[in-house]
Amino acid sequence: MCTWLVASCAVQAEVSNSELPLATKADIFGTYLGSFTVDYSDEVSHTRYSEGRIAYNPERHSIFIDSNHRDDAIAEFAIPEELSHSNDIQQLPKAAMLQPYRRLFASAATGNPHGIDKIGGMSLVRGELVVQAYETYDASGKNPHTTLIVRQPQNLAESRIDGFFEMEGAARTSMYISEVPDEWKTALGGSWIAGMGAGMSINSRFSEGPSLYVFDPEDFRGRVSGRIPTRKHLDYPFNRALSSQLYEDPESGGWDSYNSTGKNLLWTQISAARFAFVVPGTRTFAVIGKSGALKNSGGYKILNDEGYRCPGPCAYDNEDIHTYYWLYDLEEVLTASNTYDQVPYEYGIFDDRFLTYGKQGANGLISGGSFDAGSNHLYLIRPSVGKNGRFPVISIYKVGSAALQRAEAP
């Protein structure tokens, strides 16, 4: 009998998708393999104060990583042979540079007429690097440009960069990309996922909860730009925010968006989804990000308990923000009447091992990720670790180990 995450094709041959198990936090994140850091600079940019986006490259056991947030560049680094379990950033091994930084937006085949200025999620897709991107402050909420394709990522310096493409869903596809396991490609109607969940300005343009759009990379083939069709499975407009149907503010009668009741631990205006993937051999759509105002409410541009005036949504307690996760049942997602009806079956604090707090809130939150189905390794980046929030740290988790240990126990 097949256990989940072992020989996914065999699992599919034996059971239908509805019979696949649901994963838990322990199943997905139970085995922490260790972390490393990246500290590099060249004439183009450096790794400090990045947005925190990565893409794993199995060909060279390396990662592509974004640059300082002002420079819209990417570089490639070799993952160290040995990782560390230390929470002291000074004790972590450092990745070695394989390819220096190259700026993306100025090299786009279409130019950058809509002023895209931030790198979003990225992933290697059939040997090409797909990079999502967005505009920091899109006041109209109508910027159509979303995607660049680095055609030869093994040669960053000279590769053609096609795009900008226009993925249906626009900014709601901008924060993460991951491959759909074989057993779910037919049901979801595509082979790759793109999505996001809050965490940017202009709430009319984003999903107030994790989104799930599916696309086919074939639509990029032989094209320089154009529209990329998607299928939408999860998407939460602001007036249908993830927790809005469950938690009401007794004063306003609307959504308890800052948890004034103390009951809304599901999704607040401080929540954001930063990476998501379907766990192979299961019905689970796993989402990782951040959430806050879990203990003591919050507000927009408030003065927090440390006397700091927040630039946007924040908690009154400067330490009331955490890494977070949400787990969805894909069978429920696919059978829902609306894309905003579904609620995760499990959620909570994820892994705060590198978090430090200052008056402005937390450093060490997760901002991006990459999943390698070949090794079942999950790579997550914390772009601003340490007291000064300067260094990116990449942590690696072995997905599925806890479940396999239970299945193999006598």
pLDDT of residue 351: 96
The CATH class of 19-408 is: mainly beta
pLDDT tens, position by position, 236-257: 999 999 999 899 888 777 899 9
Residues of the chain predicted below pLDDT 70 = 1-15, 387-389, 401-410
Structure tokens at 388: 């000064």
**CA–CA dist 344, 159 (Å, integer):** 41
Amino acid at 47: T
pLDDT of residue 293: 96
Structure tokens at 332: 């429920």
Neighbours of 368 (CB within 10 A): 29
315 within 8 A of 298, measured Cβ to Cβ? yes
**CA–CA dist 221, 368 (Å, integer):** 26
Closest CA to 67 of 85, 86, 88, 52: 52
pLDDT of residue 7: 42
pLDDT tens, position by position, 393-407: 999 999 985 444 443
């730009």: which residue's tokens? 225
Strand partners, 368: 381
| Rounded to 5°, angle at Cα 5 from 184 and 236 | 45
103 within 8 A of 71, measured Cβ to Cβ? yes
Beta strand pairing call for 321-329 and 284-292: antiparallel
Amino acid at 410: P
pLDDT tens, position by position, 330-344: 999 999 999 999 999
Is pTM, for the whole model, over 0.85? yes
Closest CA to 383 of 36, 35, 38, 52: 52
pLDDT of residue 389: 61
Structure tokens at 38: 């990246």
pLDDT of residue 103: 97
Amino acid at 315: A
Neighbours of 36 (CB within 10 A): 22
Contacts of 410 (CB under 8 A, 6+ apart): none
